[in-house]
Chains A and B, each alone.
Chain A
Amino acid sequence: MKSRTGKRRYTVIGLLLTAVMLFPVYWMINVSLTPQQDMRKDPPDLLPLHPTFEGYRAVLDDQMPYLGTSLLIGLGTVALTLLLAAPAGYALAKLRPFGGGALGLALLVAQMIPGIVMAMGFYGIFLDLGLLNSWWGLIVADSTIAVPFGVMIFTAFMSGIPGELIAASRIDGAGTFRTFWSVVLPVSRNALVTVSLFSFLWAWSDFVFANTLDSGGDLRPITLGIYKYIGNNNQEWNAIMATAVVASVPAAVLLVLAQRYVAAGVTAGAVKD
Chain B
Amino acid sequence: MTTARVGHRPPRSPAARSGAAGTAEEAEARALRRRRRLRSRLTALAFLAPLAVYLGAFYVYPLYRNLDLSLRDYTVRSFVAGDAPFSGWDNFRTVLDDPTFGPALRHTMLFTFVSIAFQYVLGLALAVFFNRHFRLAGTLRALFLIPWLLPLIVSASTWSWMFNSESGVINYALHLVGASPVDWLTSPDWALTSVVIANIWIGIPFNLVILYSGLQNIPAELYEAASLDGASAWQQFRRITFPLLRPVSAITLLLGLVYTLKVFDLIWIMTKGGPDDSSSTLATWSYQLGFGSLLPKFGPGAAVGNILILIALVFGLLYIRVQRRQEA
Chain A residues engaging chain B, CB cutoff 8 angstroms: 7-8, 10-11, 13-15, 17-18, 21-22, 24-25, 27-28, 31, 39-44, 83-85, 87-88, 90-98, 100, 103, 105-106, 108-110, 112-125, 127-128, 140-141, 143-144, 147, 151, 159, 162-164, 166-167, 170, 176-177, 180, 201, 204-205, 207-208, 211-212, 223, 226-227, 230, 237, 240-241, 244, 247-248, 251-252, 254-255, 259, 262-263, 266-267, 270-273
A108 and B322 CA atoms in complex are apart in Å by: 13
Indicate if the CB atoms of B214 and A114 lie closer than 8 Å.
Answer: no
Q: Measured between C-beta atoms, what is the minimum distance from B209 to chain A in Å?
A: 5
Instruction: List B131-170 residues whose CB lies under 8 Å from chain A.
Output: 132, 134-137, 140, 142-155, 157-162, 166-167, 169
Contacts A121-B65, A205-B151 known; A18 to B169 CB distance under 8 Å? no
The contact of A114 among B8, B79, B135, B309, by CB within 8 Å, is B309
How far does the alpha carbon of A266 sit from the alpha carbon of B213 in the complex, in Å? 10
In the complex, what residues of A have CB within 8 A of residue B290's CB? 120, 123
Q: Is B206 interfacial (CB 8 A cutoff)?
A: yes
Q: Which segment of B18-26, B49-57, B85-93, B221-229 sits at the interface?
A: B49-57
**Of listed B54, B62, B169, residue having the most chain A CB within 10 A:** B62
Tell which of B97-105, B111-119, B235-243, B258-266 binds the partner: B258-266
25 pairs from A and B in contact (CB 8 Å cutoff): A8-B134, A14-B137, A21-B143, A22-B143, A27-B162, A42-B172, A44-B169, A85-B51, A87-B47, A95-B44, A98-B44, A116-B264, A116-B308, A117-B309, A120-B62, A121-B61, A121-B66, A147-B54, A163-B7, A167-B8, A176-B43, A201-B149, A205-B150, A205-B153, A237-B161
Which of A106, A124, A167 interacts with B7 by CB under 8 Å? A167
Query: Which of B27-35, B186-194, B312-320 makes up part of the contact surface?
Result: B312-320
- In the complex, how many angstroms separate the beta carbon of B81 from the nearest chain A beta carbon? 11
B233-259 with Cβ < 8 A to chain A: 248, 251-252, 255, 258
CA distance A192 to B14 in the complex (A): 44
- A128 proximity list for chain B (CB < 8 A): 82
B121 CB within 8 Å of chain A:
no
Given the known inter-chain contacts A14-B137, A18-B143, A27-B169, please indicate yes or no for A244 contacting B51, CB distance below 8 A: no
Tell whether B179 is near chain A: CB-to-CB under 8 Å: no
Q: Cα distance A93–B1 when bound, in Å?
A: 7
Report if A266-B210 is in contact (Cβ < 8 Å); known contacts: A11-B134, A117-B305, A237-B161: yes
Closest 7 CB pairs of A and B: A121-B62, A167-B7, A95-B44, A114-B262, A205-B151, A97-B44, A91-B47
> Which residues in A have their C-beta under 8 angstroms from that of B95?
none
* B309 contacts across to A, CB distance below 8 A: 113-114, 117
Cβ A7 vs Cβ B4 within 8 A: no
Q: Give Cα A205–Cα B65 distance, bound, in whole angstroms.
A: 25
Question: Which among A41, A88, A122, A248 is the interface contact of B51 at CB below 8 angstroms?
Answer: A88
From B151, B167, B251, B291, name the one whose CB has the most chain A CB atoms within 10 angstroms: B151
Contact B151 A40 (CB under 8 A): no
Q: Min CB distance, A168 to chain B, in Å?
A: 8
Q: How far is the CA of A197 from the CA of B1 in the complex (A)?
A: 27
Q: Decide yes or no: A271 and B312 within 8 Å by CB, A163-B7, A176-B40, A207-B152 being known contacts.
A: no
- A270/B154 in contact, CB under 8 A: no
Chain B CB within 10 Å — which of A14, A122, A140, A147 has the most?
Answer: A14
Instruction: Give chain A residues whose Cβ lies under 8 Å from the Cβ of B174.
Output: none
Q: Across the A-B interface, how many residue pairs have beta carbons closer than 8 Å?
A: 301
Take A87-B47, A97-B45 as given contacts and tell me if A28 and B154 are in contact as well, using a CB distance cutoff of 8 Å. Answer: yes
Asked whether A271 lies within 8 Å of B65 as measured between CB atoms, the reply is: no
Q: Are A163 and B6 in contact, with the CB atoms below 8 A?
A: yes
Contacts of B258 in A (CB 8 A): 112
Residues of the B chain whose Cβ atoms lie less than 8 Å from the Cβ of A92: 48
A166 with B7, Cβ < 8 A, contacts A24-B158, A204-B151, A255-B149 known? yes
Contacts of A208 in B (CB 8 A): 264-265
Is B151 a contact of A88 with CB atoms below 8 Å? no
Which residues on the B side are within 8 Å of A105 (C-beta)? 320
B135 with A11: CB separation less than 8 A: yes
Residue B80 is within 8 A (CB to CB) of chain A in the complex: yes
Determine which residue in A28, A114, A163 has the highest number of CB atoms from chain B within 10 A of its CB, and name it.
Answer: A114
| B residues 269-309 touching A (CB-CB < 8 Å) | 269, 283, 286-287, 290-291, 298, 301-302, 305-306, 308-309
**Interface residue B180 (Cβ < 8 Å from any Cβ of A):** no
Closest to A28 in B: B158
- B47/A88 in contact, CB under 8 A: yes
Nearest Cβ in chain A — how far from B274, in angstroms?
Answer: 14
Contact between A247 and B45, CB atoms less than 8 A apart: no
Contact across chains for B66 and A262 when beta carbons are under 8 A apart: no
B37: nearest chain-A partner, CB-CB: A96
CA distance A108 to B159 in the complex (A): 32
CB neighbours of A87 from chain B (8 A): 47-48, 50-51
Is B232 part of the binding interface, using a Cβ–Cβ cutoff of 8 Å? no
Partner of B134, one of A7, A18, A167: A7
Contact A115 B61 (CB under 8 A): no
Does B326 make an interface contact (CB < 8 A)? yes
Contact A110 B269 (CB under 8 A): no
B48 in contact with A241 (CB, 8 Å): no
B7–A244 contact, CB under 8 A?
no
CA distance A191 to B44 in the complex (A): 20
Complex contacts, A114 vs chain B, CB 8 Å: 261-262, 264, 283, 305, 308-309, 312
